[in-house]
Chain A
Amino acid sequence: MSRLAAGGSIDRRQPLAFTFDGKSYQGFAGDTLASALIANDVRLVGRSFKYHRPRGILTAGAEEPNALVTLRSGARAEPNSKATTVELYDGLEAASQNRWPSLGFDMMAVNGLLSPIFVAGFYYKTFMWPRRFWERLYEPLIRRAAGLGALSGLPDPDSYDRDHAFCDLLVIGAGPAGLMAALTAGRAGARVLIVEEDFALGGRLLAERHEIDGQPAADWVAAVAAELASLPTVRVLKRTTLFGGYDSCTFGAVEKVADHLVTPAAGQPRQRLWKIAAKRTILATGAVERPISFGGNDRPGVMQASAVEAYVNRFATAPGKRIAIFALTASGLRLARALKAAGIEVPAIVTPDGTGDGSTIAGMVTATHGKTLRSIEVSGRRIEADILAMAGGWNPAIGIASHLGARPVWDDAIHAFVLKTPPAGMALAGAAAGHFSLGEAIDDGLREAQAALADLGMPATVGARPATSDDPAGVGTLWSVPGSKGKAFVDFQHDVTVDDIALAEREGFRSVEHLKRYTTLGMATDQGKAGQVNGQALLAAATATAMGEKGTVIARPPDRPVAIGAFAGAHTAAHFRPVRLTAGHAWAAENGASFVDTGQWKRAQWFTRPGESDWLESVTREARAVRTGVGICDVSTLGKIEVAGPDAATLLDRLYTNMMSTLPVGKARYGLMLREDGFVFDDGTAARLADDRYVISTTTANAARVMQHVDYCRHVLWPELDAQAVSVTEQWAQVAVAGPNARVLMQRLLPDMDLSNEAFPFMASAQCRWRDGPARLFRLSFSGELAYEIAVPADRGAALMRALTEAGRSFGVTPYGTEALGVLRIEKGHPAGNELNGQTTAHDLGMGRMLSARKDFIGRALAGRAALTDPMRPTLVGLKPVRPGERVRGGAHLLPLGAAARAEHDQGYVTSACFSPVVDGWIALGLLANGPSRIGERVRAVSPVRGTDVEVEVCSPIFFDPEGVRLRG
C-alpha cells in the first residue's frame, strides 16, 4: 500500500471495495479510480494504441491518454472511461483495455518491434493495395489490433434526462478564479450557474498547498462553497462537464447524476444533459500540463508533475518511493517541497539551466529504464527513481472558446496558445487566460465578474480581494531533448513520436491540420489535450517557422467524449417522436384495424375480419364494398386550414393554379398548388363557407408545409392582403362515406337535411348540425363513387364513427383503410403522394388545363418553361399487364419492348400499383415519356430490385367509370 498515513481530501472512515481486472482492492470515499489504483501499487493500467506498449497513469485529469478502462460490465459496460476522472464507489468494477491476452503479457506488443513500418502515415502507405484486400484483410486486422474498448452491444438499461438552464453568468470551472467570479456575481444577486467537472470544488487548490487570507486554501474553498450554497440565485453543478460552446452563448453540459453509484436509484437518470443559455460567461477551466518529449517518456512511472502533486496532496498517496523531477516550470520546485513534506525521497530535480535551489541538476533526462520505471539517465548519469515527475509547461484550456470561433494565438512570454480576443459575451480568468499564479486567478475572477455585472447593468457589491500566498509561475520551454535514447512520445494515446513528426514534415505535411491527420496526432479520445502543442512546436522547429505562425488546430465540440444516450435523453423507443391518433382510433382498433405510420399519425391501413388470412383479402373486400354498398374511412389526418378575411379569395387565387374567387358559397372545388419553380407542391379542395371564409384541405404529408407556405404568402409576399389563416386539422374529425348507399346512410345520420342530388349535388358543401352540434358536410369523392365527407369537432369524432357504424349496420357499412383508399383512387387515376413527388408538373399529371391564364399564381411563370411542358417528359398513364394475372410492381422501370434493361433505355417508371377488384387484375399508374400519345402501346415494366419483368399495355389512367357517372349519381 502506498497510502500516506495522514492528510488528503479522502474520507478514511469510508472504505470502498473495487476490482480491477478481476482483482479486489480497497480505496476511500474521495478517491478517483486512478488514485485508488496508485494507493494499491497498481502501476500498469493499459496498453498503447499502436505499439501496445505498457502504460501507467500519466495525469490526474480529463487529459489522461493512458489509463482508459472499461467501467462496469454487461449492458452497463462503458469503454474508454478515464480512470483519472472516475469517482470511486463501493463495488466499482473496471477492466483494462487494448491488451490480449493479458495486461502484463500482450501478444500485440510485437508491433513495437515492427515499429519501423508503423511510422507516420502507415495506414496510407501500407494498406493501399491490392485494393480487394482492404475489406477482407486489412480492415479487420487493423480493427482487431488497434481497437480501444468495445461497446457491449446490449441495450442501455439506464435512463437519461435533459434540462435547460438560463443564467446571467455562467462560470465554467470551480477553481480559484471560477469560485471568486461566482461569489462576486452571486453576492450581487446575479443568476449564476457554476459548473465543475470534478466531484469536489477547488480545482488546483485541491492539489496544491497555498494560503488564502492566511488560512489553508482548502478552508477558503469550503467557506466559498458554503456561501454559494446559501445564495438564492446561485446554482452549483458538480460532476458536470461542459463539453461544447454553441452560437448565441449557449452551451452543452453533461451532469453525471449517478455515475458514481453501482446502479442509479429507481427513477434516477444516469446522466443529465444541460442546455445552458447564458448572458455572460467566464471561462475558468484552468490549464493542462504538457509532457516533455524525451526518450522513454511513456514508461509507467513517468507522470505529469501536477498529477504527482494531486496524488500526494489531495489523495494522500505516494506514487513512488523515490520521485525525481524534470521541470521547466517553477511549479516543479513546489512539488519537491510537497514530496519532502510527505516524507517522500526526491533523488533529483533536473532543470535544463539548473535554476532552482542548490540541489538542482542542470541537464536533461535522455532515457528511462525498467519495465516500470527503475532509473533515469541525466547527462549519461543514471539516477535511481521509481517515479519521474515532468513539469513541461501549461496549455490554457481554451477549447470551449475556440468552439465559438475564437482563434488562439501564440504567446512567447508564457510559451502557450492564448486567446487575445475571446468570443463576444465571454471572458477568460486564471490559468485559462494564461495567468498561472494564484494571485492572478483571484484577481481575474473578481475583475471579470465585476465587468460582467457592469455589462448587464447590475451593481456590483465591492468585496475585499482575499490575500494570497506567493506563487511563482515561471515557465520555460523544451520541445525535444537532444540525445534522447528510445522513442520519445508526443501523443501517448496514438503513439505519435518525435520522429513521426519529423517524418511527416519531410514528406511534405507541413500544415498543422495535415500533420494532425497524417500522424493522427491529437485524434485519440483525449483529443491531444496533452500532446498537441508539443507536436506543433516540433513541426515549427522542423520547418524553421516561428511557433504559432502556422496557427493551431481548430477545436470543435464536444470537448470531452459524451455518451450518445445523454444526447437522446428520454427521447427513445416510444418517446422518440410524438404519436398522433385520430378521434376514431379506438373505434378502428376495435374493428380490427392494422395501423400504418404516416408521418406522426397512425392511420388504419385495413380492417381484418375473422377468417381473413391475408391483407390483400381484406383490402379487396373493402374496395369491393365501396363499389357495391357503402364504406366509411377516417380522413381526419388530411390537413385543414381555414382562410378568412376580406382578401381570402384573392389569397387563394394566388395560392392555387385555378380560380377560387369564383367559387360560390356552398360549393367546393379541387385545387392544385405549385411551388414557385413550377413543380406541383400539393393538392386538395377548397370549400367556400361564406363570402370571406374558406376551408381548404391538404394532403396528410404536406399539412404543416402548406400551412407554412400560406403564412409565407400572407406575411412575406403579400402582407397587404387582409386574410387570416389557421390550421384546424386537429380540431375537426372528418370521415369519408362512399358508395352507392352513401346517401341513404347520410340521410339516416342527418334526417333534417335534403340530400337529394338537386339540393346537394356533387361538389356541394354546407355547414350543418349533427346531434345539436356543428358539422360540415361536403360532397367530395376520391373513390369515384357517390360520396360525402362529414366533419365534426374532434371530441365528437369517435361518436360519429360509432353512429355511422350503427346507422349502416342493416346494409353492411364497411370500414376501409388507406390501402383500399389507394385501390379506389388508382382505379380512378387520381394522383396521390407517389405522383405528387416534387418532381412532377401539372402537365405531367394531365392537369395542364388547371393552370389559369387569367391571373398570377405561385409557380405560374416557371411552370410555362418549355422543358416543363415538353411532351417527352414522363407523363401520367395507366398500365395493365398483357398476360392476365401478372403483377406490376411500384418502382418498376418502363422500357421499350426488346430494349435491354439499362438506364439509357429508361422511359419512366411505375408510381402506384394495386390489385383492382373491378378490373379483376393488377393495374398501375406510371409516368411514361410522351405517355398520353402511346395509349395501346406495349412496354416492359422491369424491377431489378424484385426481379420482375412484366409486359404491360399503356392505357388511360382512369380504369373505371371514365365519364364520372357514379360520383354524380
Chain B
Amino acid sequence: MRIPCPYCGERDAHEFVYRGDAAPQRPDGAEANEAAFADYVYPRANVAGAMHEHWYHAQGCRTWIVVERDTRSHAIAGATLAREAKR
C-alpha cells in the first residue's frame, strides 16, 4: 500500500504507523466526565467503506495525517495534515 503524505508525496505504507479512526474527538476540558471519555476511548465503528484514519509518518516527516481509505478495497482517496483537518 502507498500513502500520499502531504509533505513527502506518495510513500510506502511501511514508513507509517497506523492509529485508527480519526472521527472520535477528545472531550477537552477538566469538566468532561468519565462517560464522555469512555465514549471517546473505547467504542469504534466498524466501517465498511470510506473511512478517515490517523496515520503517523514515523519514518518520514513525523507528521500525523488523516488518510481517507476505503476499508473494502484499501483504495486511498487522499490525505491531509491532521492539524488542518481539525480546522
Point out residues on A near B: beta carbons under 8 Å.
Answer: 246-250, 275, 277, 405, 424, 676-677, 704, 707-708, 711-712, 714-719, 855-856, 860-862, 864-865
Which of A248, A708, A856 lies in contact with B74, CB distance below 8 A?
A: A248
Residue interface bits B28-44, CB-to-A below 8 A is 1, else 0? 11101110111011100
Which residues of A have CB within 8 Å of B28? 717-718, 856
Contact (A862, B34) CB under 8 Å given A704-B58, A708-B58, A856-B29: yes
Please tell me if the beta carbons of B37 and A712 are within 8 angstroms of each other in the complex.
no
Residue interface bits B57-83, CB-to-A below 8 A is 1, else 0? 010001110000000011110000111
Which of B2, B64, B86 lies in contact with A277, CB distance below 8 A?
A: B2
How distant is the Cα of A76 from the Cα of B3 in the complex, in angstroms? 39
Which residues of B have CB within 8 Å of A405? 73
Please tell me if the beta carbons of A865 and B82 are within 8 angstroms of each other in the complex.
no
Please tell me if the beta carbons of A860 and B30 are within 8 angstroms of each other in the complex.
yes
Which residues of A have CB within 8 Å of B76? 248
Which residues of B have CB within 8 Å of A246? 1
Q: Which residue of A lies closest to B85 (CB)?
A: A716
Please tell me if the beta carbons of B41 and A715 are within 8 angstroms of each other in the complex.
no
Interface of B is mostly: mixed
Contact (A715, B63) CB under 8 Å given A855-B30, A860-B30: yes
How distant is the Cα of A707 from the Cα of B62 in the complex, in angstroms? 9
CB-based closest 4 A-B pairs? A719-B83, A247-B1, A715-B64, A861-B37
Which of A249, A250, A677, A714 lies in contact with B41, CB distance below 8 A?
A: A677
Please tell me if the beta carbons of A864 and B82 are within 8 angstroms of each other in the complex.
no
Which residues of B have CB within 8 Å of A707? 62
Q: Which residue of A lies closest to B29 (CB)?
A: A856
Contact (A717, B26) CB under 8 Å given A246-B1, A708-B17: yes
Which residues of A have CB within 8 Å of B22? 716
Please tell me if the beta carbons of B74 and A865 are within 8 angstroms of each other in the complex.
no
Least Cβ distance of B63 to chain A in Å?
Answer: 6
Please tell me if the beta carbons of A711 and B1 are within 8 angstroms of each other in the complex.
no
Please tell me if the beta carbons of A250 and B2 are within 8 angstroms of each other in the complex.
yes
Which residues of A have CB within 8 Å of B62? 707, 711
Which residues of A have CB within 8 Å of B74? 247-248
Q: Which residue of A lies closest to B81 (CB)?
A: A715
Contact (A708, B56) CB under 8 Å given A247-B1, A248-B1, A405-B73: yes
Total interface residues on B, CB under 8 Å, equals 37
How many contacts between A and B, using CB within 8 angstroms?
77
Please tell me if the beta carbons of B86 and A716 are within 8 angstroms of each other in the complex.
yes
Interface of A is mostly: mixed
Least Cβ distance of A89 to chain B in Å?
Answer: 35
Q: Which residue of B lies closest to A712 (CB)?
A: B64
How distant is the Cα of A763 from the Cα of B36 in the complex, in angstroms? 38
How distant is the Cα of A844 from the Cα of B81 in the complex, in angstroms? 38
Contact (A716, B54) CB under 8 Å given A248-B2, A250-B2, A856-B30: yes
Least Cβ distance of B14 to chain A in Å?
Answer: 10
Which residues of B have CB within 8 Å of A275? 12
Given contacts A711-B56, A861-B27, A861-B36, 6 further A-B contacts (CB under 8 A): A247-B1, A704-B58, A712-B64, A715-B64, A715-B81, A719-B87
Which residues of A have CB within 8 Å of B40? 676
How distant is the Cα of A708 from the Cα of B40 in the complex, in angstroms? 20
Least Cβ distance of B41 to chain A in Å?
Answer: 5
Which residues of B have CB within 8 Å of A248? 1-3, 13, 74, 76
Please tell me if the beta carbons of B1 and A250 are within 8 angstroms of each other in the complex.
yes
Q: Which residue of A lies closest to B34 (CB)?
A: A861
Which residues of A have CB within 8 Å of B58? 704, 708
Sample (6) of A-B pairs whose CB atoms are under 8 Å apart: A248-B76, A250-B1, A277-B12, A715-B63, A716-B82, A862-B37
Looking at A249, A707, A711, A860, the one whose CB has the most chain B CB atoms below 10 A away is A711
Q: Which residue of B lies closest to A856 (CB)?
A: B30
Which residues of A have CB within 8 Å of B63? 711, 715
Which residues of A have CB within 8 Å of B81? 715
Which residues of A have CB within 8 Å of B32? 856, 861
Q: Which residue of A lies closest to B35 (CB)?
A: A861
How distant is the Cα of A840 from the Cα of B5 in the complex, in angstroms? 36
Q: Which residue of B lies closest to A717 (CB)?
A: B26
Least Cβ distance of A522 to chain B in Å?
Answer: 25
Least Cβ distance of A134 to chain B in Å?
Answer: 38
How distant is the Cα of A831 from the Cα of B18 in the complex, in angstroms? 30
Residue interface bits B8-19, CB-to-A below 8 A is 1, else 0? 000011000101
Which residues of B have CB within 8 Å of A864? 34
Which residues of B have CB within 8 Å of A677? 41-42
Which residues of A have CB within 8 Å of B27? 861
Least Cβ distance of B54 to chain A in Å?
Answer: 6
Which residues of B have CB within 8 Å of A250? 1-2, 12
How distant is the Cα of A861 from the Cα of B32 in the complex, in angstroms? 7
Please tell me if the beta carbons of B73 and A862 are within 8 angstroms of each other in the complex.
no
Looking at A277, A861, A862, the one whose CB has the most chain B CB atoms below 10 A away is A861
